[in-house]
Amino acid sequence: MRGQGLEQQKKAPLEGLILRSQGGFYQVLTEAGELQCRGRGRFRKEDTQLVVGDRVQVEPTQEGCGFITGLEPRKNSLIRPPVANIDRLALVVSSTQPAPNLLVIDQLTAIAARREIPVVLVFTKADLADTGPLAEVYRKAGYLVFQVDSLSGAGTAEAGALFARGITAFCGNSGAGKSSLLNAIFPELGLATGGISRKLGRGRHTTRHVELFPTGQGGYIADTPGFSAIDFLQFQRMPAQELELCFPEFEGHRERCRFTGCSHRVEKGCAVLAAVEAGEIPRSRHESYKAIYEELKTVKEWELKKEGTP
Ligand SMILES: Nc1nc2c(ncn2[C@@H]2O[C@H](COP(=O)(O)OP(=O)(O)OP(=O)(O)O)[C@@H](O)[C@H]2O)c(=O)[nH]1
Ligand SMILES: [Mg+2]
Ligand SMILES: [Zn+2]
């Protein structure tokens, strides 16, 4: 009897947070420290994919190891980067080298809005280009914006104060400066950056996989590999008529269009178009809206069904 009790005690599942996922192994932070885990049961199969940020139940086995046996419902999730339960998405955008692609930024802000994930924008390389005009567009659209020079550290403290708490996923093109920004804010991370990798001859995509790093102040940050625009166009579709809900600056205007079902592209009496003309809605944002709308309109029903969680 006593032996059985001990056995049960030993097997009592622990609550954990997936910090890293690589090659079928998950590094899970539990009250008993970090455990290297594999999935058990349905988590071994491809249909329930576990991602970084997942809250899970773990059965410890031998020293430092365990099995994942349960998954808590997700608050939210992204497919690329594959991460769950984030408090915000930080879009890291290079103001130059590489030049910013506003359409890509606006696609990402729309996807995040669709998934009810708050977005902040960080414009990097402020030492090389004037980030002011870009910052103005996105402040006007209602986003929180930071302008940083990660090499000198200018502007990074303000951003760091926000990122210290909660879970922040960083997202942006390869070379945008995600790892450099994180190193400026959290020097103890020592993340590899483009400059270093070129010396090692590894080429693009310095960051290889998603990983949560503790900030030391209760929060976590996820450095993610750079992406190409295709990744999210293919995987995260939405009906074109619902795109207007993903542009926060349309609110207060789109309700006042003359026709219900107005697509805010060409219609007479469109209050969104009027706001663009009046300079109240940034023109580049509206251009992106139209481009994404056209793209979404061509999506077939079976493709819409693909929208979902990993
Ligand atoms: N001048 C200047 N250079 C920067 C700044 N931020 C990053 N860089 C440089 O830009 C290059 C790319 O930076 P990374 O931090 O590796 O970019 P990344 O977004 O992490 O790239 P991936 O890991 O490939 O996705 C490096 O050579 C950095 O030194 C900045 O604020 N100013
Ligand atoms: Mg990187
Ligand atoms: Zn309209």
Domain with residue 197: its CATH number is: 3.40.50.300
Task: Return the ligand number nearest the Cα of 98.
Answer: 1
**Neighbouring-strand partners of residue 90:** 120, 170
Output the domain CATH number for residue 21.
Answer: 2.40.50.140
CA dist., res. 98 & res. 80, Å (int): 21
Boundary (domain end) residue, out of 211, 228, 245: 228
Considering only residues 247 and 45, tell me which one the structure prediction assigns the higher pLDDT.
Answer: 247
Confidence band of 189 (pLDDT split at 50, 70, 90): confident
87 and 142 belong to one structural domain? yes
Residue 170 phi, psi dihedral angles, 5° rounding: -100, 135
Give 224-238 as a DSSP string.
Answer: -----HHHHHHH---
pTM to 2 decimals? 0.85
118 lies in a domain? Answer: yes
> Of the ligands numbered here, which is closest to the C-alpha atom of 183?
1
pLDDT tens for residues 124-170?
Answer: 999 999 999 999 999 999 999 999 999 999 999 999 999 999 999 99
Residues 144, 166: Cα–Cα separation, whole Å: 16
- Listing DSSP states for 135-173 in one string gives HHHHHHTT-EEEE-BTTTTBTHHHHHHHHTSSEEEEE--
* 158/269 same-domain check: no
The DSSP letter of residue 242 is G
Task: Tell me how many domains the chain contains.
Answer: 3
Q: Give Dmax over CA atoms of the chain in angstroms.
A: 80
Tokens in use for 87? 């408090």
- The residue among 49, 71, 93 that closes a domain is 71
Does 125 share its domain with 261? no
Ligand 1 centre from 206 Cα, in Å? 10
Reduce the DSSP state of residue 98 to 3 states and report it.
coil
Distance CA 121, CA 6 (A): 51
Q: Which tokens is 287 given?
A: 């251009």
Instruction: Give the ligand 1 atom nearest the CA of 226.
Output: 25
The arithmetic mean of pLDDT across residues 176-189, rounded, is: 91
Query: Which of 171, 198, 228 is the endpoint of a domain?
Result: 228
Query: Which backbone phi and psi does 143 adopt, to 5 degrees?
Result: -95, 155
Domain that holds residue 62: 2-71
User: Is cis: bond before 73, omega within 30 of 0?
Assistant: no
Question: Is the per-residue pLDDT at 89 higher than 90?
Answer: yes
**Whether residues 180 and 278 fall in one domain:** no
Residues having CB within 6 Å of any atom of ligand 1: 124-125, 127-128, 148-151, 172, 174-180, 193-195, 204-207, 225-226
pLDDT category at 171 given cuts 50, 70, 90 is confident
Q: Is residue 309 part of a domain?
A: no
Pocket test residue of 127, 171, 180 for ligand 1, highest count of atoms within 8 A of CB: 180
**Nearest residue (CA) to ligand 1, atom 5:** 125
pLDDT score recorded for residue 224: 76
